[in-house]
């Protein structure tokens, strides 16, 4: 039986880009084999790019964005999922190629879904969202130096863009893992917030700009660089032998000016983190570890919950670097 529902629809006709809340029908959802009643979604940097002007990502209009969501299975053609199962979706080009989470319903491929762990709620899952999942993937990449690569014990970990969605979750998770976290940020008013998350030391992001020698004094056992761009040159030069630099973002730019010395002389690994395409098996593992590494009571005060209509007004702030913490989207208010 088809159902009417609301969704945030973007369109681009004759170079005129629009965003509006529209009433749709579930019969119009043609993708996938599982219909999900969405409880929450979240706002990520990629979502903001798409909401702004399509972000050179969306090819077919009109379109429903939103790269992640949590909700309840309404109907399933796959025996792995039954009605009323709680599920999470992140990535797999949902919200880019397939209709996404800024909606009251979505129909998706069952291979994209992860069952919600019993110690999480739908709301907590989207308090984390793609940003939290990405941060934990970064944290386990750091941990891989000790376990997978059997390297020296990790002590000092640098996190850049530390007040952002990925950065703040990374600070907390790495601190919970027992590492000394050095948080780099340009927001001087967020020092106490970062310390509350678990940061031992706060650095100015400007310290990583400017020219760098081929190799500098090794300061970091590992790094989670959520920014990319110019600063990554100096970060690589300052990473200790055998270190891992986890790179999940490029808000600071797509290009870096570096050399082979950190990789050849120090054996540093630049580990790209693609949370969208990570396997379901890996996502299941990370989601089941989330409650051990994230203290939701601490981040609760930094969460802003918005409706689909309010989302249209809020998303530009993330592009301007004006958001701290996370925005949870409730399509049912």
Query: Using the 8-state DSSP alphabet, how is residue 167 labeled?
Result: H
What spatial distance separates the first Cα and last Cα of the chain, rounded to whole Å? Answer: 23
What is the CB neighbour count within 10 angstroms for residue 133? Answer: 28
Homologous superfamily assigned to 4-116+299-329: Medium-chain alcohol dehydrogenases, catalytic domain (3.90.180.10)
In the chain, domain spans:
4-116+299-329, 131-272
Q: What percent of the chain has pLDDT over 90?
A: 77
Asked if residue 168 has pLDDT above 70, the reply is yes
The pLDDT score that the predictor gives to residue 301 is 84
* 3 state DSSP class of 71: strand
Q: Which CATH number is 131-272's, of 3.20.20.70, 1.10.3430.10, 3.40.50.2000, 3.40.50.720?
A: 3.40.50.720
What is the CB neighbour count within 10 angstroms for residue 204? Answer: 12
Q: In sequence order, which residues have a C-beta less than 8 Å from that of residue 7 and are 6 or more positions away?
A: 21, 22, 24, 64, 99, 102, 103, 104, 105, 308, 331
Write out pLDDT tens, residues 257-276. 778 888 999 999 999 999 99
Pairing, β 156-160 against β 220-225: parallel
Band the pLDDT of 256: cuts 50, 70, 90. Answer: confident
What's the mean per-residue pLDDT of the chain? Answer: 93
Asked if residue 204 has pLDDT above 80, the reply is yes
The pLDDT score that the predictor gives to residue 261 is 87
Write out pLDDT tens, residues 109-165. 999 999 999 999 999 999 999 999 999 999 999 999 988 878 789 999 999 999 888
SS3 content of the chain, % helix, strand, coil (to 5): 35, 30, 40
Query: Using the 8-state DSSP alphabet, how is residue 40 labeled?
Result: E
Band the pLDDT of 322: cuts 50, 70, 90. Answer: confident
Band the pLDDT of 252: cuts 50, 70, 90. Answer: low
* pTM, entire model: 0.92
Q: What's the rounded Cα separation, in Å, for the pair 227 and 222?
A: 15
For residues 330 and 305, is the Cβ–Cβ distance under 8 A?
Answer: yes
Domain pair 4-116+299-329 / 131-272, same fold: no
The pLDDT score that the predictor gives to residue 214 is 86
Q: Give the Å distances, CA to CA, from 138 to 54, 98, 212, 244, 248.
A: 27, 26, 25, 10, 7
């Amino acid at each position: 039986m088809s159902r009417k529902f609301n969704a945030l629809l973007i369109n681009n006709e004759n170079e005129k880009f629009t965003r509006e809340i529209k009433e749709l029908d579930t019969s119009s959802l043609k993708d996938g084999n599982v219909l999900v009643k969405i409880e929450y979604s979240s706002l990520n940097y990629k979502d903001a790019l798409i909401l702004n002007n399509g972000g050179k990502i969306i090819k077919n209009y009109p379109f429903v964005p939103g790269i992640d969501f949590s909700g309840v299975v309404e109907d399933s053609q796959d025996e792995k999922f039954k009605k009323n199962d709680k599920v999470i979706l992140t990535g797999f080009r949902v919200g880019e190629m397939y209709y996404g989470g800024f909606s009251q319903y979505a129909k998706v491929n069952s291979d994209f879904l992860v069952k919600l762990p019993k110690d999480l709620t739908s709301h907590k899952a989207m308090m984390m969202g793609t940003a939290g999942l990405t941060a934990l993937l970064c944290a386990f990449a750091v941990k891989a130096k000790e376990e997978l690569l059997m390297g020296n014990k990790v002590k000092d970990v640098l996190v850049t863009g530390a007040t952002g969605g990925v950065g703040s979750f990374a600070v907390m998770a790495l601190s919970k893992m027992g590492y000394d976290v050095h948080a780099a940020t340009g927001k001087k008013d967020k020092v106490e917030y970062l310390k509350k998350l678990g940061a031992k030391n706060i650095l100015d992001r400007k310290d990583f700009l400017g020219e760098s020698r081929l190799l500098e004094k090794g300061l970091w056992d590992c790094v989670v660089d959520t920014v990319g761009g110019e600063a990554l040159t100096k970060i690589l030069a300052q990473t200790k032998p055998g270190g891992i630099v986890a790179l999940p973002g490029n808000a600071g730019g797509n290009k870096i000016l570096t050399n082979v010395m950190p990789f050849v002389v120090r054996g540093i690994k630049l580990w790209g983190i693609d949370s969208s395409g990570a396997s379901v098996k890996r996502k299941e593992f990370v989601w089941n570890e989330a409650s051990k590494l994230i203290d939701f009571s601490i981040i609760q005060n930094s969460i802003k919950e918005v409706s689909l209509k309010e989302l249209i007004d809020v998303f530009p702030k993330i592009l301007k670097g004006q958001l701290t913490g996370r925005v949870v989207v409730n399509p049912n208010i």
